[in-house]
Amino acid sequence: MSDPSHSTAPWTAENWPIAAAMIQQSNILPDGSSVQDQSAEGWAETVADVADVGFTEIDPTDSWIRIADLEPSRLDEFLSVVRDADLTIPAISTARRSVIDAEHGDEYLAYSHRVIDTAAAIGAKSVSFGFLQALLPAQKKALWFWTAPGHVDPDDKAVWNKAVERIRELGRHAADVGVDIGLEMYEDTYLGTADDAVRFCTDVDLPSVGINADLGNLVRLHRPVEHWRSMMQKVAPFARYWHAKNYFRTEDETSGLVVTAPAPLEYGVISYREAIRMAHRHGFRSAFLCEHYGGDGLTVSATNREYIRRILRSVLR
């Protein structure tokens, strides 16, 4: 199966890469073993579900499997499983492996370099990095982890500068091997607001580094947030590999109560029709990733994929 991300031909609404995220899949199997050590047949069962709901692309999100840490023979096995399911890999997403983590930052920086090299080796054109860190105990107990306080990046110029330098290092590496980086917007990190994300990306100042405009990470917060339209207007010129998800959001102006819950892409508070048009006007040409928390996230993601294709038909005609 041809992969449009490997071609200079114009993308259409029908072949634009729209990948399935694997966030709904645990990296620990029922017997306590790791997906990392699972048999190829076991991987194939999971990957078959992605193909069964109509996806032609998959992102081997590293909360499920770290393909950058597979031995070459095992990576070949995994890629064979993906090919046998008629899927391609346009991008690789990382999660909760911040290069400025106080304890593991150096380890995660080295890992991020391996992700870039792996992406280049398998023909993936984008990677997603971010500064989100491990969930705290209260977040792990909550039904929705974003309703409990999590890690906060320090208000420290030295740490900001360290983050900029490390992402710049990764950006240069990515440029050398033909890969783009999307920096994931996420609350209370150096990419936690549209203004901060733009400022950070501007400080890095490399064409290979842009913003993963995951506005869903912000509109789901049970606190005041900037309107999604204003955020998108700011980040659209920098938009790269895009994690797309949406949320219902209700705000009670009399009490200050905010309540959110995951929503299919077309029903939530963000108008992706408008957001995609904004990005397209600024030359957005990168893959999408469909995510959804709760319930049958894979099936909802498949519905979201078709919604994006409908929007693309309108935008590209």
pLDDT of 5 reads: 44
pLDDT for the residue numbered 232: 98
Give the pLDDT confidence score for residue 57 in this predicted structure: 98
Q: What is the pLDDT of residue 6?
A: 46
Q: Is 248 exposed, middle or buried (0-12, 13-18, 19+ CB in 10 A)?
A: middle
Domain residue spans of the chain: 12-316
Write down the pLDDT at residue 8: 57
Give the sheet arrangement for strand 180-184, strand by strand: 91-93, 126-129, 180-184, 209-212
Spatial distance between the Cα atoms of 30 and 27, rounded to a whole number of angstroms:
10
- Kindly report, residue by residue over 58-88, the tens digit of the pLDDT: 999 999 999 999 999 999 999 999 999 999 9
CATH no. for 12-316: 3.20.20.150
pLDDT in the model for residue 1: 33
The per-residue pLDDT for range 165-197, each reduced to its tens digit, is 999 999 999 999 999 999 999 999 999 999 999
By C-alpha distance, which of 82, 92, 170, 187 is closest to 133? 187
Read off the tokens for 145.
Answer: 């982890």
Contacts of 161 by beta carbon, 8 Å cutoff, 6+ apart: none
Q: Is the dihedral of CA 218, 220, 226, 228 positive or negative?
A: positive
Q: Tell me which residues of the chain have a pLDDT lower than 70.
A: 1-8
CA 240 to chain CA centroid, Å, is: 10
The structure's pTM equals: 0.95
Closest by alpha carbon to 90, among 51, 124, 128? 124
- Taking every pair of Cα atoms in the chain, the longest distance, rounded to a whole number of angstroms, is 60
User: Across the strands, what pairs with 41?
Assistant: none
